Amino acid sequence: MESSTFILFGATGDLAKRKIFPALYNLFIDGKLSGPLSVIGLGRREWSNATFQSQVLDSLRTFSRRAPEDSPELRRFLLAFEYSVLDVGHPEDYKKLLAHVIRREQELGLPQNRMFYLSVGPEFFAPIAANIQGSGLGDTLGWKRLIIEKPFGRDLQSARELNDSLGAAFREEEIFRIDHFLGKPMVQNLEVLKTSNPVLRALWQNRYIANVQITAAETVGVEERAGYYDQSGALRDMFQNHMLQLLMMMAMQLPQGSTPEEVRRKKRHVIASVLPLLREELARHVVRGQYAAGEIKGKPVPGYTSEPGIPAASQNETYIAARLFIDDPLWEGVPFYIRTGKRLKEKSTRIVIEFKEPLNDVHNKNRTVLEPNLLVINIGPEEGLSLQLNTKDPRRHGALEPVSIRHDSGNPGMPEAYENLIGDALRGDATFFAHWDEVELSWQWVQPIIDAVDAGELPLHDYAAGSHGPAAADALLGEAHWWLDEEPAPPAAAKDPEAIRQGA
């Protein structure tokens, strides 16, 4: 990796504090940053370098997975951070920034490699890109790169407009769009799992797979983000980006040791092959929901429209589920069920692959219906794998029982998504980023849903906070069902008194 200057717009903001500073710190102490580190933080507040450095230290103390220890190394890390006042709309501030960047490059003997990280609202992306271009900041002798975060537009047209404005200053290979789900270790592991295990490689196709279920369930409600969320909803906030990216990662087929270019091509193939939904059939394939009052972990919580900042008549969805098919010989006939929502029973991001059991289809009255084999890929909050198989239980006259073989990766010591992603972007490796084709094709697939919602054609189903979502989402699966939804705990009174005494 060549050393570079890390230029951070929005350095006084929440994302910088919670994710970016800790990620840089952990990369630094792991020796994954080459050459002298140079970070220039930007914001409108009049901060000195010392104030900025103490904010960085506070962020590490609160959010870093490894606590900062007082050491010469930590001091070296903090001294790498300098601050410049910049208002994104003031072109003269970019000239001052350019002078600052050049001064630091000369002081530290850094090549003119510049990483621009826009940790600011998306309305600022286009003016910042234009000013980087106009001020000369982008005229480097080395490389320049841009990191941006979702949202990349709010529909197909606005996404295209945004991309065009970025394209005036940066080439596609220079743009690194963060989808932090792609930074999660288990998502990064998916391809290796498929390519390095002949057993899975052989089974990864419609001949053996009955259906695939991708879930990202949250227990939290809108929290403090009412203004943003009510304009965005589960479709734009989660589905168009994270969920469709998980689908691409799950369904693409790559040879071992593929290049970032191949990954991009294969992901593009998957999303381009998802069968488009016809407007008149949408309601049979897509379920929208909004949480009503209920209970989360035994505590009452209000419904969505009673949350502070949410209009009482809001028709915004806090849950969405969809059934998708991929038009590819390998996946023909395999439904992909995708769902995400807030205020659900448990926090879990996972992919469940249900394998076919041809014997269950044979009409034989004497045969027991077998539980299917399930491969479960747990992406968060715990990471790991499990495989459900059938065995016989000698204590129950040889009756069949499903058992689960588990591997828990264990979170301690695992790099965080932002560490992986920032490290990759600094190395110029675009494998785990959202490329423009994917973003555009995802919006294209989602656009008929947006249109139908705007036209009031898609019903909004209620679900109680703390449930698994609206009943209509179960109906999407026909005879199948969502696997692994945690059942509600039995009421205490129903427990065996002896078991309670023994602490069971």
Q: Which stretch binds ligand NAD (CB under 6 A): 59-67, 85-93, 184-192, 473-481?
A: 85-93
Q: Which stretch binds ligand NAD (CB under 6 A): 86-94, 108-116, 300-308, 337-345?
A: 86-94
13 binds ligand NAD (CB under 6 A): yes
Edge-to-edge strand list for the sheet holding 384-393 = 399-408, 384-393, 374-380, 348-355, 209-217, 336-341, 319-324, 286-292, 460-464
Query: Taking the CA of residue 68 as centre, how many other CA atoms within 13 Å lie in the half-sphere pointing to its CB?
Result: 26
On whether the CB atoms of residues 179 and 433 are closer than 8 A, the answer is: yes
Q: Which two tokens stand for residue 207?
A: 């001949």
Q: Which stretch binds ligand NAD (CB under 6 A): 119-127, 216-224, 337-345, 428-436?
A: 119-127
14 binds ligand NAD (CB under 6 A): yes
Closest CA to 420 of 256, 252, 140, 188: 188
15 binds ligand NAD (CB under 6 A): yes
**Which residues, listed in sequence order, are joined to residue 460 by a DSSP beta bridge?**
288
Task: Spell out the alpha helix ranges (H) of 141-299.
Answer: 156-167, 185-195, 198-203, 226-234, 244-251, 260-273, 282-285
Closest distance to ligand NAD from the beta carbon of 86 (Å): 6
- Contacts from 480-487 at CB under 8 Å and sequence distance 24+? 480/210, 480/211, 480/335, 480/354, 482/213, 482/215, 482/337, 482/339, 483/213, 483/352, 483/354, 483/374, 483/376, 484/348, 484/350, 484/352, 484/374, 484/376, 485/345, 486/345, 486/346
Closest CA to 319 of 243, 426, 260: 243
Closest distance to ligand NAD from the beta carbon of 352 (Å): 26
Choice from 111, 122, 185, 260 touching ligand NAD (CB under 6 A): 122
Dihedral angle sign, alpha carbons of residues 286, 291, 294, 300: positive
On whether the CB atoms of residues 161 and 153 are closer than 8 A, the answer is: yes
Interactions with ligand NAD, residue window 127-156 (CB under 6 A): 149-150
Closest distance to ligand NAD from the beta carbon of 139 (Å): 22
Choice from 3, 5, 6, 10 touching ligand NAD (CB under 6 A): 10
**Which residues, listed in sequence order, are joined to residue 177 by a DSSP beta bridge?**
148
Cα gap 430→426, rounded to integer Å: 10
Cα gap 231→219, rounded to integer Å: 20
Q: Which residue's beta carbon is nearest to the bound ligand NAD?
A: 13
- Report the amino acid identity of residue 497: P
Judged by beta carbon, residue 5 or residue 12, the one nearer ligand NAD is 12
Dihedral angle sign, alpha carbons of residues 287, 289, 294, 296: positive
Closest distance to ligand NAD from the beta carbon of 8 (Å): 9
Choice from 56, 101, 120, 287 touching ligand NAD (CB under 6 A): 120
Judged by beta carbon, residue 47 or residue 304, the one nearer ligand NAD is 47
Choice from 76, 79, 121, 259 touching ligand NAD (CB under 6 A): 121
Judged by beta carbon, residue 231 or residue 259, the one nearer ligand NAD is 231
Closest distance to ligand NAD from the beta carbon of 88 (Å): 4
Q: How many CB atoms lie within 10 A of CB 353?
A: 24
454 binds ligand NAD (CB under 6 A): no
Cα gap 273→350, rounded to integer Å: 23
On whether the CB atoms of residues 184 and 380 are closer than 8 A, the answer is: yes
Judged by beta carbon, residue 13 or residue 142, the one nearer ligand NAD is 13
- The residue count for binding ligand NAD (CB under 6 A) is 19
167 binds ligand NAD (CB under 6 A): no
Q: Is 269 designated active site?
A: no
247 binds ligand NAD (CB under 6 A): no
230 binds ligand NAD (CB under 6 A): no
Closest distance to ligand NAD from the beta carbon of 204 (Å): 31
Binding mask 20-49 for ligand NAD (x = CB under 6 A): -----------------------xx-----
Q: Which stretch binds ligand NAD (CB under 6 A): 5-13, 261-269, 306-314, 452-460?
A: 5-13
Closest CA to 230 of 98, 295, 318: 318
| Active-site choice (90, 100, 180, 242) | 242
Judged by beta carbon, residue 224 or residue 327, the one nearer ligand NAD is 224
Dihedral angle sign, alpha carbons of residues 17, 64, 217, 160: positive
316's CB contacts (< 8 A; 6+ apart) are 229, 230, 231, 233, 290, 304, 310
12 binds ligand NAD (CB under 6 A): yes
Interactions with ligand NAD, residue window 89-108 (CB under 6 A): 89
Judged by beta carbon, residue 15 or residue 414, the one nearer ligand NAD is 15
Choice from 87, 161, 223, 393 touching ligand NAD (CB under 6 A): 87
284 binds ligand NAD (CB under 6 A): no
Active-site residues, by number, are 242
Report the interface residues with ligand NAD, using CB under 6 A. Answer: 10, 12-16, 18, 43-44, 86-89, 119-122, 149-150
